[in-house]
């Protein structure tokens, strides 16, 4: 059984919500940290951009290896996160779109056997490739919600 139409649709389109959330907000404002000790809206977007290649590689490893174990992803420990923060907003949004098309294409190419392969999350245990899609999408949705709330606070302060 392929991914559900809901999961495929979210894989294809959910990331585009960023455009709606930040519409007309200057990049300088998105970079402004308004909650002490928490990421700015821009840093949340950069995190989503930096994580997608990690996730794509995890999907590939699950196809190549039997039940690989993955470390918890911590952005500050990712050597690519700091350079991602140096990119401009337009470049980040392009990176996200390009990586997402690769992730979506990979999922669309998978048969039932490929979707049933597993990888082990350090906290939640073994997930099938199908379950990893939900994990990925819900993680992204959490950051989209965070971006939404931060942008609302930014708009109030302008």
| Residue 16 pLDDT | 98
Examine the pLDDT at 114 and tell me if it is beyond 90.
Answer: yes
- Alpha helices per DSSP H over 1-128: 5-13, 17-22, 27-30, 41-64, 81-85, 89-109, 112-116
Domain ranges, residue 51 = 5-157
> pLDDT category, 157, cuts 50, 70, 90?
confident
CA distances, 106 to each of 2, 22, 60, 131, 135 (Å):
12, 28, 9, 15, 16
Q: What is the residue-averaged pLDDT of the chain?
A: 97
> pLDDT category, 158, cuts 50, 70, 90?
confident
- Alpha carbon distance 155, 135 (integer Å): 30
| Between 31 and 157, the higher pLDDT residue | 31
Span 13-30, average pLDDT: 97
35-49: pLDDT as tens digits:
999 999 999 999 999
For residue 67, the domain's CATH number is 1.20.120.450
69-107: pLDDT as tens digits:
999 999 999 999 999 999 999 999 999 999 999 999 999
Span 47-56, average pLDDT: 98
Span 120-128, average pLDDT: 97
| Residue 1 pLDDT | 67
Count the domains in the chain.
Answer: 1
């Amino acid at each position: 059984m392929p991914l559900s139409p809901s999961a495929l649709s979210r894989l294809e389109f959910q990331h585009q919500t960023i455009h709606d959330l930040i519409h007309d907000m200057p990049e300088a404002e998105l970079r402004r940290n308004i909650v002490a000790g928490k990421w700015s809206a821009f840093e949340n977007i950069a995190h989503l951009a930096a994580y997608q290649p990690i996730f794509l590689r995890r999907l590939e490893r699950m196809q190549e290896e039997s039940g690989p174990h993955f470390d918890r992803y911590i952005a500050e420990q990712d050597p690519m996160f700091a350079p991602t923060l140096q990119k401009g907003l337009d470049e980040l949004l392009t990176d996200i779109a390009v990586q997402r098309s690769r992730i979506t294409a990979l999922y669309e190419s998978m048969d039932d056997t490929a979707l049933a392969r597993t990888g082990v999350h350090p906290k939640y245990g073994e997930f099938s490739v199908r379950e990893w899609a939900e994990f990925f999408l819900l993680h992204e949705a959490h950051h989209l919600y965070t971006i939404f709330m931060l942008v609302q606070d930014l708009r109030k302060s302008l």
